[in-house]
Amino acid sequence: MEIVSSEKKDFLAKLSALPSDVGTRLMRRSTENKENFALKYYFTILANENVVQYPIRLVKNESPDYLGAQDEVCFGIEITESTFSAYQYFLTEYERRPRVQFEPSVFVYGEEYTTENIFRFFRPRGSELVAPGWMGEQAEEYASGWALDSLVKKLETVRRWPFASQENLRVLLYQNCPAWVHDVEALGRHLRNRFRVAISAGTLNLDGLKVDYLTSDGKMLVYDIMGVGQCWDYKTMYEAEDAE
Instruction: Give the pLDDT band (50/70/90) at residue 132.
Output: low
- Given a contact cutoff of 8 angstroms between Cβ atoms, the answer to whether 139 and 105 are in contact is yes
- Run of H or E including 133: none
Which of the four pLDDT bands, split at 50, 70 and 90, describes residue 69?
Answer: very high
- If one compares 166 and 77, the residue with the highest pLDDT of the two is 77
Contacts of 136 (CB under 8 A, 6+ apart): none
pLDDT of residue 164: 65
**243 compared with 157, residue with greater pLDDT:** 157
Asked if pLDDT for residue 163 goes beyond 70, the answer is no
Q: What confidence tier does 90 reach under pLDDT thresholds 50, 70, 90? A: confident
Per-residue pLDDT, 242 = 47
Question: Among positive and negative, which fits the CA dihedral 129, 174, 236, 24?
Answer: negative
Q: Output 167 or 244, whichever has higher pLDDT.
A: 167
Residues 87 and 107: their CA atoms lie apart, in Å, by: 8
Band of residue 32 on the pLDDT scale cut at 50, 70, 90 = confident
CA–CA distance, 218 with 231 (Å, rounded to integer): 13
Tell me the pLDDT tens digit for each residue of 3-20. 999 999 999 999 999 887
How many whole angstroms separate alpha carbon 181 and alpha carbon 50? 25
pLDDT-derived band at 223, boundaries 50, 70, 90: very high
105 versus 198: which is more confidently predicted? 198
Q: Does 23 have pLDDT greater than 90? A: no
Sequence-distant (≥ 6) Cβ neighbours of residue 154 within 8 angstroms: 78, 80, 171
User: Quick one: average pLDDT of 121-135?
Assistant: 79
Angle, alpha carbons 191-49-5 (nearest 5°): 115
Q: Is 179 helix (H, G, I), strand (E, B) or coil?
A: coil
Q: Cα–Cα distance between 129 and 135 in angstroms, integer?
A: 15
At 236 the pLDDT is: 58
Does pTM surpass 0.85? yes
Q: CB–CB of 222/231 below 8 Å? A: yes
How big is the chain, counted in residues? 244
> For the chain, how far is it from start to end, CA to CA, in angstroms?
38
CA angle 209, 214, 220 (to 5 degrees): 130
- Give the Cβ contact number of residue 195 at 10 Å: 19
Q: Tens of pLDDT along 178-212?
A: 667 889 999 999 999 999 999 999 999 998 899 99
pLDDT greater at residue 15 or residue 127? 15
Whether the pLDDT of residue 97 is over 90: the answer is: no
